Amino acid sequence: MPEPQVSILIVAYKSRAHLPRLFDCLDAQSFTGFETILIDNASPSGAEPEPATAARATQYVANSVNTGFAAANNQAARLARGMWLICLNPDAFPEPDWLAELFTATSRYPDITAFGSTQILDEDPSQLDGAGDVYHAAGIPFRGGYRKPRAIDLADGQTFSPCAAAAMWRADVFAALGGFEESFFCYCEDVDLGFRHRLSGGRVIQLAGAKVRHLGSASSGRLSDFAVYHGTRNRLWTFVRNMPGILFWIMLLPHLAATLLLWAHAMWRGAGAAYGRGLKDGLVGLGSVWQARRTVQATRRVRLADLARQFAWSPMALLKRAIVLRPITQP
């Protein structure tokens, strides 16, 4: 049996209802040189994959404890045999040419080591779920184009980092970066990895033609206390770990101001308590995060000016969740 060119990593938690549709979509792919590695992250009894569904994966592992989205993806990556790794959420349903679009892009952009998919809102395909992860200079990540009308003229472009709902990484680069930061558990782990990739000099292409239909937060709930807590804590840690040199000190006050404004917004949405817990635990953990910062910053190869050009700077881009794609240029 030939070695797969692509390994698709699927981390499931309470995803029984979505996995059959996902595997149907994978079976329909026009590109077939792939394997699937399914990790069930200790779903409660009755919510784990059906045996017949688990058998559709090339490899299936049922964890006895929930290690988190980040750690389980790293676990799957260690089992992978492909040159390319794809993180694919159980509630992200690829179109038939999705994998072919991703793989052919590796020849079209031979120096690129990470690619993002165009995510379409499953409940309303006329809207985007996201076209790449944007990082605002104030330390606030967001999904570009979230719940905005799908643009018919959307083209390939550079994005800050690929959303882990349907992202492809070259396996050796993923390993060299250390994979996802496991202390995050879940949320912002993809932006943190993308930031470290940027610091090392890597670039990411968002592919207009590689499309998936995405439900989003099917396991955790988009505005659940769980999501708000981890998103708040990990957003702070991502900023502290990754924002380099003088940019860290310049953007520290804007980051704190944005954090407080988002807390007020969370209180208006009824999630202020979870936000406060996330912020408190984020601050408590800053000692170890600052130590990790030294390790992360030691790997930086990109010039500050070049990195700064990859951020969104406009407040309106953040408020509108704008798509921010840069022209594709040679390094």
The per-residue pLDDT for range 48-64, each reduced to its tens digit, is: 999 999 999 999 999 99
> pLDDT by residue (tens digit) across 186-203?
999 999 999 999 999 999
Asked whether residue 1 is assigned to any structural domain, the reply reads no
Could you tell me which of 102, 278, 292, 110 has the C-alpha nearest to residue 185?
Answer: 278
pLDDT for residue 284 is more than 70: yes
Asked whether residue 318 is assigned to any structural domain, the reply reads no
pTM: 0.95
> pLDDT by residue (tens digit) across 294-326?
999 999 999 999 999 999 999 999 999 999 999
Whether the Cβ atoms of residue 273 and residue 172 lie closer than 8 Å to each other: no
The Cα–Cα gap between 230 and 251 comes to 22
Q: How does strand 204-214 pair with strand 166-170?
A: unpaired
Asked whether residue 102 is assigned to any structural domain, the reply reads yes
The Cα–Cα gap between 320 and 305 comes to 25
Neighbouring-strand partners of residue 130: 119
Asked whether residue 29 is assigned to any structural domain, the reply reads yes
Asked whether residue 324 is assigned to any structural domain, the reply reads no
If 0-12 CB within 10 Å is exposed, 13-18 middle and 19+ buried, where does residue 331 land? exposed
Check residue 277 and give left, alpha or beta (phi > 0: left; psi -120 to 50: alpha). alpha
- 164, 192, 214 - which closes a domain: 214
Asked whether residue 316 is assigned to any structural domain, the reply reads no
Residues 208 and 236 grouped into a single domain: no
Torsion of CA 21, 121, 229, 270, to 10 degrees: -120
Asked whether residue 317 is assigned to any structural domain, the reply reads no
Q: How many domains does the chain have?
A: 2
Res 221: pLDDT: 52
Q: Which amino acid is at 165?
A: A
The mean pLDDT of 278-304, rounded to a whole number, is 97
Q: Which domain holds residue 242?
A: 225-300
Residues 255 and 209 grouped into a single domain: no
The mean pLDDT of 17-24, rounded to a whole number, is 98
Res 219: pLDDT: 47
Could you tell me which of 142, 128, 135, 29 has the C-alpha nearest to residue 86?
Answer: 29
pLDDT for residue 2 is more than 90: no
The Cα–Cα gap between 238 and 58 comes to 33
